[in-house]
A and B are shown apart, each in its own frame.
Chain A
Amino acid sequence: MAPGISRRIWGKLVHVLVLATFTILLAFPFYWMLITSFKQNLDLYTMENNPFIFNARPTLDHLKFLFTETRFVRWLGNTAFVGVIVVAITLLLAVPAAYSLARLSGRWGERLGIGIFLTYLVPPTLLFIPLSRVVAYLGLQDSLWALILVYPTFTVPFSIWLLMGFFKSIPKELEDAAMVDGLTRFGAFIKLVIPISVSGILTVVIFTFTLVTQEFVYALTFISSESNQMIGTGIPIFLVRGDVYYWGALMAACLIASLPIAFMYNLFLDRFIAGFTVGAVK
């Protein structure tokens, strides 16, 4: 009896230790952002101070600086603006495409779907040089519209892939029944398929929006002026003046911009994962 119990306790202890170690390692930078955001500069920049605790009273100065003396709010607005329009474009392109590919009979639908999925693997770092010329040619340098034009290249393929899986799970008989009742295929799509697919469409909305907020390479290449930055480029590049890093404000900005995205992503995690696993998990 006794060895069994001690073994269970050991197992539990190891489990807790492993989880604690990984959680601390992975979440530490965010804890560090949090504590840095509220420390006075005097506290931050004294080498002898224990950095894990507040050696002086916490302060809101960094937040005040961030919101009043930088373009942080503007960058949040830019990101939201680009995000919303890219979501709209992505839905317009991906929903009909995914639906028709899901309903395409034979193996061609599947093959085309996989072909589109593979374009998701073509990285921005391969395309940013030629695209910078395309953007210049269209006169969109330093314009948020350059990002709106280009971002669907990575949001559309993955969204089609996610939605295809979703539409396939809707039985075809449902639409056939609706069409017998006098609806056209398009009518059946709008009145029947879209309403059932709300959660799939919502998944695409959230996924697209998070991809837009996470993008860095195109924003860095196409956008030059301070007021047109996205959060991903504005914070690391324009919150540094010359060689001076405003660490308090920088960390506050990182945390404020990261948390909402993290919450949204978490809500839909299982569906995103289903998209990434390429059907290898049933």
Chain B
Amino acid sequence: MTTPIITPPRAAGRVDVADARRRFHPWRLVVGVLLAVIVLQLAIFFITNPRFEWPVVAEYLFNPSVLLGLLTSIMLTIVGMVFGSLLGTVLAAGQLTEFAPLRWASIVFVAVFRGVPPLVQLIFWYNLAYVLPRIAVGVPFGPELFAWPTNDIITPLTAAIIGLSLHEAAYMAEIIRAGILSVDQGQRDASKALGFSRWHSFSRVILPQAMRVIIPPTGSQVIALLKGTSLVSVIAMGDLLHSVQVIYNRTYEVVPMLLVAVIWYLVVVTLLTIVQRRVERHFSRGLSSTSLTRRTVQKLEVTQ
């Protein structure tokens, strides 16, 4: 059942498509109305349901122990990301090296730490003293130089940092490796031919171009890591989730306290997303034609 297509007769006068009216899309109307109904329902549910206890949410939103928990989560994200990226870069380079033993070691490391769930890792590192009561530095199979009881070193904080950093390093290694491989081989040839050292070629030619590919997934990794820090609450590390748990264990106001945590997670993630967009734009410099045109036009305007 198709409607016949009618061409207006020439005799009726001059045809100009600029005079056309909008076409009516009935299904768009249906979906639009449905969405509006759902949004309205949700809003009424959140506002009128007394169990959300919004006054309690407001009371605890800026509570010092909640803010301290938020700060701890952000700190863990930053530390995990910094260590993860550094180790990840080394692992990525290791996976791409010609020297086979180093390559295999890097590949196995990445496979293990990508494969073990971060929650399992955190619990394992926290209980490291069970398999390794003492941590010692010394000559392999020879005398010890320094030794510490493991329980003095492994606190919730160090266990959290080790677990999150190693997990993150494995993911960052894959992201950075993909970025490096995305750079055209000709770039490597050209920097070799000009006599650049390996480091100069990697840091000035390859990495800046790889950044275009590395940045978007890294942004998602930062966001995933921020949410992932909530796992450290199981080893009694005082992150955002743990700080609201401590409060609701006392007051039994579980849902409003979780809402407090949710609001803060959403605020930080939104801010991170904005930063991520900016950074992405910065690193596409010289590589996408649109941003180039824009900057050239600006430059021309300045010179005139």
Co-complex (A, B): no
